[in-house]
Structure 1
Amino acid sequence: MARAVEESAYHSTDLRAGRILARGGKVGAMTVDRGTLFAAVQQGDDAWTVSVAVPVLTVEATDTFVELVAAESGRIAGLLDGDLPHQLVEDAEDAGVELLPYGSEFSASCSCEAWAQPCPHGLAVLTQFTWLIDGDPLALLHLRGLSREQLLAALHDRTSRTPSGAASDRDEVDEATEVDVEVGIDAARRAARILELLEQGEDVTSLL
């Protein structure tokens, strides 16, 4: 994420100014929503409002990511504990799911109306966000369009849907197989008994 912020800067001086603002505690409370970041940045006697838009994951990418999280035990608990394993990010990228945005994906606007965006205020907000996701990786997922509630609901739906249906199908097949086996054994016993009685010269009409 930090590299993406660097890539988005028009000039290194803007990046340095943004970092100074962020480190100086000039970025106010940040609102993270689906595909958007919003915060106010204090500079001198002025306060500037910054909005940053980021593309959200497609439905297909979201489904793939949910499958990857569910594929290994501990990943769900790790995410909820504030851990976004590097391996999970790599697995997601290999599957075509880009969690970490590129610098060119940021679409920033600021009330300072600087011609180059993101301006130092926007870069301050983005820098602050990189620090935020270090402690709460779910903020990155939320920005990408997958909130904590949606992630948990998708995982629950996946867990409750597939195994139960598969188990039900297996039970029906097993019951049908057991019936077929029992019928076959009974028929074989009856045939053997009839042959035995015929060899003894007994009347088997009642058994047919």
Structure 2
Amino acid sequence: MSDIHDEAYGAEDGYKHTGGTTDERTFEALPPPHGRGFAQTWWGQAWMKALEDTALDLGQLKAGRRLARAGAVGAVSVRPGRITAVVKDRDGTPHRSDVLLQELSPEEWDRFLAMAIERAGHIAALLDRDMPPHLVEDSAAAGIELLPAIGDLEPECDCDAWDHCGHTAALCYQVARLLDQDPFVLLLMRGRGERELLDELHERSVARAEAPEAGEEAEDGAPEGVSAAEAYAEGAILPPLPALPTLPPEPGLPPTLDTEAEPAPGLDVAAVEFLAAQAAAEAHRLLADALTPGHEQHAVEHELTTEEDAVRLAAAAPAPAIEARLAAASERGRDGLALAVQAWRYGGRAALQVLEEEWTPKEDALARARAALEAAWDEGERPQLRATRNRWTVIGSDVQLRHGQDGRWWPYRKERGRWTPAGPAAHDPATALAVASGRE
């Protein structure tokens, strides 16, 4: 075992240079994961979804899940274009396993860096050692795929399998947990270590900041920029924007309505005070969202309907009289509003739609859902499910999975004869079902 480990890794853990500017990182072996899910963060879940969506052999994928879940993957070495680990069989036999991922070309890295520099949110986040999820979409728009596609993960294992085996699949699953720890691992696999990448970003951002402003004289004395008429016609040159505001630690206090003057007839002072407080809380939430790096890439949220907004307000636990008015406005009644509030607290508008809407998945969405269900459990462990449109009910049990139109799974439990939301959504159906069953 020690010979295989030495051959796979060499020297100490952490960053190390193996020649030139190539970085290598070695992560210690991780203990078996708790619960059903492997990954917790967006990056880990995105890697696992890409892995499962592009897998050609579900049998090897399941074998890899079993080995990774059992803690059979040893220390993992990550370097440009390759990940390596020693993976043990169930009988303890060790195998050196490698998975190769195509590095980005110098031209692709140049486009990636140019894209990051053009977006203030990305450059600020990366230099702060954070990887915003929208980096994947923006990179794809620039023609650069960060996550693996079909055929991108090339296996090598000393068990002599001609394609992916359980050992290489287990290694791929373990990468999802490494990305939970540090998403920069993905960029290292694609060819750039964190230090090298950040140095290049810093140099480019400094060079851009020091570049002459439009209208300044160039070194040869020729004016730079464009004429005012051309700029006006183009409409792309704007005056400098003011600095972004800082986020207050908490919502502001609305004005008090406790005055000596009597309220106008029909004015519910308590309801107005409640609405003012909720408006302040919503404004604080919107500002926090707007200040999040990459916010400009998000789609604009649709305005809430009257019925949805009544649920949002009811989720803030108003006084009983106000709650009764909200129940009437939402046309749900008290019990229906309480159920809607429970869903809202687990996932806002998306959770409310899953509670109230039943839909039939299209053929491609249904195929992905079935593949996720097949891969979520080991052979023989999957419960018997009865499918009705986008709902999968465990036969002989009071638990159910509901599939959202965004591909996530929502846990439900039957209480007092009514299906009730049991927790937030999960990308892994087994995780959601464990929540519905009360095992997590």
TM-score range, shorter chain: 0.7 to 0.9
2:114 is paired with a residue whose SS is helix
Match of 1:96 among 143, 150, 157: 143
Per-residue deviation, 1:47: 0.5
Contact 1:9–1:118, Cα closer than 8 Å, also in 2: no
2:209 is paired with a residue whose SS is helix
Match of 1:32 in 2: 78
Contact 2:127–2:198, Cα closer than 8 Å, also in 1: no
- Gap change, CA 1:82 and 1:113, over 3 Å in 2: farther
TM-score normalized with structure 2 length: 0.37
1:133 is paired with a residue whose SS is helix
**Residue 137 (str. 1) matches residue 172 (str. 2):** no
**Residue 118 (str. 1) matches residue 164 (str. 2):** yes
Match of 2:131 among 84, 93, 96: 84
1:50 is paired with a residue whose SS is strand
CA distance in 2, matches of 1:14, 1:84: 31
Match of 1:146 among 192, 195, 213: 192
CA distance in 1, matches of 2:98, 2:65: 17
1:4-15 equivalence runs, <5 A? 4-7=50-53, 9-15=55-61
Unaligned ranges ≥5, structure 2: 1-46, 224-440
Contact 2:179–2:185, Cα closer than 8 Å, also in 1: yes
1:14 is paired with a residue whose SS is helix
Contact 2:127–2:202, Cα closer than 8 Å, also in 1: no
**Residue 160 (str. 1) matches residue 172 (str. 2):** no
Per-residue deviation, 1:17: 1.0
TM-score normalized with structure 1 length: 0.74
CA distance in 1, matches of 2:64, 2:192: 28
2:208 is paired with a residue whose SS is helix
Per-residue deviation, 1:31: 0.5
CA distance in 2, matches of 1:8, 1:153: 33
Match of 2:95 in 1: 48
Q: Which fold has the larger relative contact order, with Cα–Cα distance below 8 Å and residues 6 or more apart in sequence? A: 1
2:112 is paired with a residue whose SS is helix
- Gap change, CA 1:103 and 1:132, over 3 Å in 2: farther
CA distance in 2, matches of 1:60, 1:45: 44
1:170 is paired with a residue whose SS is coil
% identical aligned pairs: 36
Contact 1:9–1:123, Cα closer than 8 Å, also in 2: no
Amino acid across the alignment from 1:159: S
Unaligned ranges ≥5, structure 1: 178-208
Higher helix share: 1
Aligned Cα root-mean-square deviation (Å): 2.6
Task: Find the structure with the greater CA-based Rg.
Answer: 1
